[in-house]
A and B are shown apart, each in its own frame.
Chain A
């Protein structure tokens, strides 16, 4: 038997956990972030209401009732009133929530995927490929997004799926930059070199070794992207190039409301409030995650 195998067993404290897990600390910091908790509760309520709400209220979002036009809130059973065609505003707002939130989430997933792939490749191959990719990202960032969206929407028949793709196509650059910066520093770390030494391929190192270490900043950026995507969808729908009526979205509800701002202000107020609430909630959650996942807060 060798000296090693007969050596006294390692001290328990030598091998046991020496600090509470980083994840546990991050969760605790997030919980303590009041605005973020407010944000996450609001988002959950909005999602729940949009998913379950339409089947709980007695009005259909497309049901036209010409005798009940412009009913103010709290009249005739219409909690939020009716629009110029007598459709129930609450029902439309909830249905619109499904579209707008879905566009926001899916656009976030798409743009995160694009941004992460572009970012990891640009960050990993720091030289020629990286430089070309990052200059392309810079060029994309130079376009005024709203005009780009409008131009694209003018050429393509707008549908919820198309709008989602267009939004994702114009909002992945920020994530790409964040990921590229993160990967540039991670790839110099010893564990990346160690992976190379055991024969790992570039692809393996990028996606198995490096990306999981950059997940914090990616999650933060993704959360903020949802807010941005919801806002962008509202812009273009408000301008009439987005989701087409009669399908409601938060943006096109506002578009409908602008002519009646004086006679029926509730038509603008409620969708506007909802958009503001959703966007600020996502931003709060993003801020909370940023603080919670920031390793510099780990002063232990």
Chain B
């Protein structure tokens, strides 16, 4: 499978009153055609900043600085570094070659325009297409995302739709121009569980039909198991573990991932006699004052004095492309 999007050594830092604060360090990954990569992490781990940096939607310099490369395979097959594109060309990429949906379907639609007008607008930015044709295509898109009576819905206003319906409309807008990559930033977080499942099924179905790549950002490991092919776990702006979904979720190597998995409540626990939910003690470190060495060591039950706080560990290959950023992964696996 061809690589659709490749991120190399991406770094993002923000200039604040306290000086320059790095939010993302040296993040590299690739997404192949038709593949779903899940980006997992707590709030503040840098996953949303990573997606904004790919779209070049972080605040303009000097407030934020992006380093590294974001390589996108265009429709013509040529590979371009999005970081080098002039702003006008970047606008042609946004919504056209990379679509994006995010967390708040309730507020992401403009309250004063109809659904149809908003989808047609997305088309009009990137395609020379007549008004009538745009609305016909908008109705097709609404049908594609499973909205009943699409023609009638074109003239609805956002407040007339439920949250799930609005997220479907957002997906329709994101897909209007057949993007090759869809970035979904917590698209189901604001929805209730049944609607969440519908939206996930919809995304999988759309992916199967169009062959698009999905970068799925979430903190919900249940959702990851549902949708992802590969997973990338982020902590304090760094990738700490990366690999295929099944090995990563069943045999995690990084203590942080283990902690995350242990803190997911499971329905079969009561049968096993477990009653209390485990947590990862402490809190996410302030990006301006990261602990020395491994950022996770103050919260890690396996941390070893004299080893973990000395230097930032390398991202090591534990076999089969399973990457882990932990000095002790081998000991921990042997001990477990």
A5 touches B205 (CB 8 A): yes
B99 neighbours in A (Cβ, 8 Å) = 198
Given A4-B201, A199-B125, does the pair A15, B162 have CB atoms closer than 8 Å?
Answer: yes
Interface string of A160-196 (1 = CB under 8 A from B): 0000000000000000000000000000011101111
Interface stretch (choices B8-16, B103-111, B133-141, B294-302)? B103-111
A22 neighbours in B (Cβ, 8 Å) = 159
Tell me, yes or no, whether B91 is within 8 Å of chain A by CB. yes
> A197 contacts which of B100, B126, B147, B208 (Cβ < 8 Å)?
B100
Interface stretch (choices A6-14, A34-42, A94-102, A219-227)? A6-14
B160 touches A189 (CB 8 A): no
Whole-angstrom distance between the Cβ of B112 and the nearest chain A Cβ? 4
A4 touches B112 (CB 8 A): no
Whole-angstrom distance between the Cβ of A63 and the nearest chain B Cβ? 52
Whole-angstrom distance between the Cβ of A198 and the nearest chain B Cβ? 3
B96 neighbours in A (Cβ, 8 Å) = 199
A-B contact pairs, 5 of them (CB 8 A): A10-B164, A198-B121, A198-B122, A199-B91, A200-B125
B201 touches A10 (CB 8 A): no
B156 neighbours in A (Cβ, 8 Å) = 15
Whole-angstrom distance between the Cβ of B66 and the nearest chain A Cβ? 16
Whole-angstrom distance between the Cβ of A212 and the nearest chain B Cβ? 4
A194 touches B121 (CB 8 A): no
Most chain B CB within 10 A, of A3, A190, A194, A204, is at: A194
A4 touches B202 (CB 8 A): yes
> A196 contacts which of B94, B113, B147, B202 (Cβ < 8 Å)?
B94
Tell me, yes or no, whether A208 is within 8 Å of chain B by CB. yes
Interface string of B308-319 (1 = CB under 8 A from A): 000000000000
Interface residues of A in 264-292 (CB under 8 A from B): none
B95 touches A197 (CB 8 A): yes
Interface residues of B in 71-119 (CB under 8 A from A): 91-96, 99-100, 102, 104, 107-113
Whole-angstrom distance between the Cβ of B50 and the nearest chain A Cβ? 15
Tell me, yes or no, whether B57 is within 8 Å of chain A by CB. yes
A191 neighbours in B (Cβ, 8 Å) = 107-111
Q: How large is the interface on B (under 10, 10 to 19, 20 to 34, 35 or more residues)?
A: 35 or more
A199 touches B162 (CB 8 A): no
Per CB-CB distance, the 9 closest pairs between chain A and chain B, nearest first, are: A198-B95, A2-B205, A199-B94, A199-B95, A190-B107, A212-B112, A194-B108, A190-B108, A191-B110
Tell me, yes or no, whether A60 is within 8 Å of chain B by CB. no
Tell me, yes or no, whether A18 is within 8 Å of chain B by CB. yes
- Residues of B participating in the A interface, judged by any CB pair closer than 8 Å: 55, 57, 91-96, 99-100, 102, 104, 107-113, 121-122, 125-126, 146-148, 153, 156-157, 159-162, 164-165, 170, 173-174, 176, 198, 201-202, 204-205, 208
A213 touches B201 (CB 8 A): no
Given A4-B201, A7-B198, does the pair A198, B148 have CB atoms closer than 8 Å?
Answer: no
B157 neighbours in A (Cβ, 8 Å) = 21
Q: How many A-B residue pairs have CB under 8 A?
A: 101
CB-CB nearest in chain B for A212 = B112
> A198 contacts which of B94, B160, B162 (Cβ < 8 Å)?
B94
State the CA gap A193–B125 with chains docked (Å): 15
Given A5-B146, A5-B205, A198-B173, does the pair A213, B94 have CB atoms closer than 8 Å?
Answer: no
Most chain B CB within 10 A, of A2, A4, A7, is at: A4
Question: In the complex, given contacts A21-B157, A198-B122, what are 19 additional A-B residue pairs having Cβ atoms less than 8 angstroms apart?
Answer: A2-B201, A5-B205, A7-B201, A10-B148, A19-B159, A22-B159, A189-B107, A191-B110, A193-B108, A196-B94, A197-B55, A197-B57, A198-B173, A199-B126, A201-B91, A208-B121, A209-B110, A212-B112, A213-B112
State the CA gap A212–B118 with chains docked (Å): 13
B174 touches A198 (CB 8 A): yes
A15 touches B148 (CB 8 A): yes
B146 touches A4 (CB 8 A): yes
CB-CB nearest in chain A for B163 = A14
> B92 contacts which of A199, A204, A212, A213 (Cβ < 8 Å)?
A199
Whole-angstrom distance between the Cβ of B197 and the nearest chain A Cβ? 9
Tell me, yes or no, whether A56 is within 8 Å of chain B by CB. no
B93 touches A199 (CB 8 A): yes
> A194 contacts which of B102, B162, B198, B204 (Cβ < 8 Å)?
B102
B95 neighbours in A (Cβ, 8 Å) = 197-200
B173 neighbours in A (Cβ, 8 Å) = 194, 198
State the CA gap A7–B174 with chains docked (Å): 22
B198 touches A190 (CB 8 A): no
Whole-angstrom distance between the Cβ of B96 and the nearest chain A Cβ? 6
> A18 contacts which of B100, B102, B160, B205 (Cβ < 8 Å)?
B160
